[in-house]
A and B are shown apart, each in its own frame.
Chain A
């Protein structure tokens, strides 16, 4: 069970449907592994339901109901599908993540690989996966936007604590972190990044071109 969660605001935007696509993907990956956040999102959806109840209605055009009823002739209710238990959103052999194609793993630096997640870059959000070996220090960086990360495998540690599978790091421009990959398994993270990032150090300058910064 994960111990680090997206911010309330991020979950609220996800539930309201106003979060950009890239960050929604990271939240969905987290939720697949976090029952608590599924509960919070269900509550925010109930807030949405309540707002729908109380909204000032806007009349539909004349005959709208009749057209909908006529359209029913071509439709029939679908049987409920069995709801499978939650399963891992990602396994190392997978070529897609929640319906998105994944690019090939590319070498970035010793012990560090990068792979694009093919989401459209519409809201200025870039989505990618990072794979890093235990003990690796990820280069220190600052960002001008937000960076939302979900750990899929392994763990990293920074000033905020230890982040294992399912944990989410919802960082904004005020956070400057210096993560180190924890001992044990290779760490794989899903990252949605907005804004610009300023890398420092040798590895930072090497990774920079790969993530189109």
Chain B
């Protein structure tokens, strides 16, 4: 696709398919397969590090959390269910949760692990289950329908947590334009994702 980030990379050439990645996680779950873990590490750790650095974590902190994320993948592998979430989505949520925990720990010396809390059940999958593979297919198709500019504002706004004003500065666009692009992109995305439940 190459629309999210403009430069194609060498790594893309050896990118693994979603099914392959899911099999690797299942191998870790089934028989604590260290070779499968090493493959997952090679694929995901540098991506998680990159993702975390985009959210303004310094490289050293991003690397440490990427390590922690992969160890969490090892521990939680038995909970992975390819019908509920694709490998990348599942690992994205692990990295996201670690980042939230680490930010909150920094802010107030208290860890909130929503998933560990007694009262909280992690969001159960949608009631009428859309299989994860179908969801991922729809998501990929939806993203392809967005313009490059819409994708950039979605990524900056939601995944990098940038304020609208900062996005306007970064993209050298008026604030109003940024806001309307985000709104258009979100509505388009929601329409394209269709009825997910």
Contacts and interface: CB of A to CB of B under 8 A. Distances in A.
Contact of A12 (B41, B123, B125, B158): B158
A99 to B, nearest CB: 3
A98 B5 contact: no
Nearest to A54: B4
Interface residues of B, number: 95
A39 B126 contact: yes
B47 interface: yes
A92 to B, nearest CB: 15
Contacts of A15: 158
Q: Which of B71, B96, B155, B196 has the most CB of A within 10 A?
A: B196
B186 A8 contact: yes
B74 A72 contact: yes
Contacts of A79: 78
Contacts of A132: none
Contacts of B48: 52
A32 B121 CA distance: 8
B5 A39 contact: no
B13 interface: no
Contacts of A75: 71, 74-75
Contact of A78 (B49, B76, B96): B76
Interface of B: 1-2, 4-5, 7, 9, 11-12, 15, 28-29, 32, 34, 37-38, 41-42, 44-51, 53-55, 59, 62-63, 66-67, 70-71, 74-79, 85-93, 95-97, 99-100, 104, 107-108, 110, 112, 114, 117-121, 123-128, 130, 132, 135-136, 138-140, 143, 154-155, 158-161, 182-183, 186-187, 189-190, 193, 196-197
What 3 A-B pairs have minimum CB-CB distances, sorted nearest first?
A: A49-B89, A99-B117, A49-B88
